[in-house]
C-alpha cells in the first residue's frame, strides 16, 4: 500500500473532493483525520473508512479560526502520534457579488476560507514535520486562479494566493524533507456547483453536468472526485519523491479551448 502507516489531515474531507481523497488514502493504509465544519458528514465518512477496516478521526473544525485549527492538530497528534500528510482542501464559493457591490466582510470571508485556512494549518503542522524531517503538504488552488470562468475576484485572488504560498513553502521547507505541492482542479462534480444545481432533481443534475462537460472540457466531461484523489495520492506518497513546488492542473484538458462565458451562460 502506498500510504501504509501514514497519518493525514484532510480539511474539508467530509464530502466532495475531500471525501474522495479520504477514502482513497484510507484504502492505501493511511490513518485519516477529517477536519470539517460539518461534524455529521465527517462522522459518516469516517464510518465508511472504519467499515473497510481503516482508521479515521472526525473533528468538527472551522478552518478559519486559529484556536480550532490548533486544537485539531493537537487532537490528531494525540490520537495518532504524528502527522505525515496535510491536505488543505477546504474551500467554497460563498457569494458572487461584483466587485463594486462587494462588502469588506464578503472579501475577508472568502480569503479566510480559501487561503487563510491553508496558512493556519501549515502554521501548526509544519513545526512537527520539521522536527521529524518529513512531510507532504498538498494545497488546493483552482483553475480560476489563472483562467477565470466568471467574475469572482475574491475567490480567484484567494486561489492565486494558494499558489504563491505553495511555492514559498516548497522552497523554504525542502531542506527539512517537506514536500509542498498544489492541485488546480477544473470542473469536478461536487457541491461546488450547488449554486446551479441545488434545486435540481437527480436527473436534472445528470443532464446539467453532462451538458456542461461537453461544452467546457476538451475531454467532453466533468471530473469525478476520485480522479482528484488519484492525483493527490501521487503527491502525498513516495511516488513524488523528487517533486516539490509544483502546481498540477487536473482539469480534463482545460484551459485548452475553454469558453470563459460558460458558467455565466448556463
70, 124 contact by CB (below 8 A): yes
The three three-digit cell numbers of residue 100, written as one number: 463594486
Active site residue 155: yes
The phi-psi region of residue 12 (left if phi > 0; otherwise alpha if psi is between -120 and 50; otherwise beta) is left
CA distance 230 to 24: 8
Active-site entry in 134, 155, 179, 242? 155
Q: Which residues pair with 9 in a beta bridge?
A: 33, 86
Q: What DSSP element (H or E) covers 205?
A: helix 202-216
The phi-psi region of residue 262 (left if phi > 0; otherwise alpha if psi is between -120 and 50; otherwise beta) is alpha
CA distance 259 to 265: 10
CA distance 111 to 108: 5
> First-to-last CA distance in the chain?
42
Please confirm whether the linkage preceding 255 is cis (ω < 30° from 0): yes
Phi, psi (degrees; rounded to nearest 5) at 218: -55, -30
Question: Annotated catalytic sites, by residue?
Answer: 155
Amino acid at each position: 500500500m502506498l500510504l501504509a502507516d501514514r497519518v493525514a489531515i484532510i480539511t474539508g474531507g467530509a464530502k466532495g473532493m475531500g471525501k474522495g481523497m479520504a477514502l482513497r488514502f484510507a484504502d492505501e493504509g493511511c490513518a485519516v483525520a477529517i477536519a470539517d465544519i460539518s461534524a455529521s458528514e465527517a462522522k459518516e465518512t469516517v464510518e465508511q473508512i472504519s467499515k473497510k477496516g481503516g482508521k479515521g478521526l472526525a473533528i468538527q473544525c472551522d478552518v478559519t479560526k486559529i484556536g480550532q485549527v490548533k486544537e485539531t492538530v493537537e487532537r490528531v497528534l494525540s490520537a495518532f502520534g504524528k502527522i505525515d500528510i496535510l491536505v488543505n482542501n477546504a474551500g467554497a464559493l460563498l457569494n458572487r457579488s461584483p466587485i463594486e457591490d462587494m462588502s469588506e466582510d464578503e472579501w475577508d470571508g472568502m480569503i479566510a476560507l480559501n487561503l487563510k485556512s491553508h496558512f493556519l494549518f501549515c502554521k501548526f503542522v509544519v513545526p512537527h514535520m520539521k522536527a521529524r524531517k518529513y512531510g507532504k503538504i498538498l494545497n488546493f488552488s483552482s483553475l480560476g486562479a489563472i483562467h477565470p470562468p466568471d467574475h469572482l475576484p475574491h475567490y480567484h485572488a484567494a486561489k492565486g494566493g494558494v499558489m504563491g504560498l505553495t511555492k514559498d513553502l516548497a522552497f523554504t521547507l525542502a531542506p527539512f524533507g517537506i514536500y509542498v505541492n498544489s492541485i488546480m482542479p477544473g470542473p469536478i462534480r461536487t457541491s461546488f456547483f450547488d449554486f446551479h444545481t441545488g434545486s435540481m432533481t437527480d436527473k436534472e443534475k445528470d443532464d446539467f453536468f453532462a451538458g456542461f462537460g461537453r461544452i467546457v472540457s476538451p475531454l467532453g466531461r466533468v471530473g469525478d472526485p476520485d480522479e482528484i484523489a488519484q492525483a493527490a495520492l501521487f503527491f502525498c506518497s513516495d511516488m513524488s519523491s523528487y517533486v516539490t513546488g509544483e502546481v498540477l492542473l487536473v482539469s480534463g484538458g482545460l484551459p485548452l479551448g475553454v469558453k470563459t462565458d460558460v458558467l455565466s451562460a448556463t
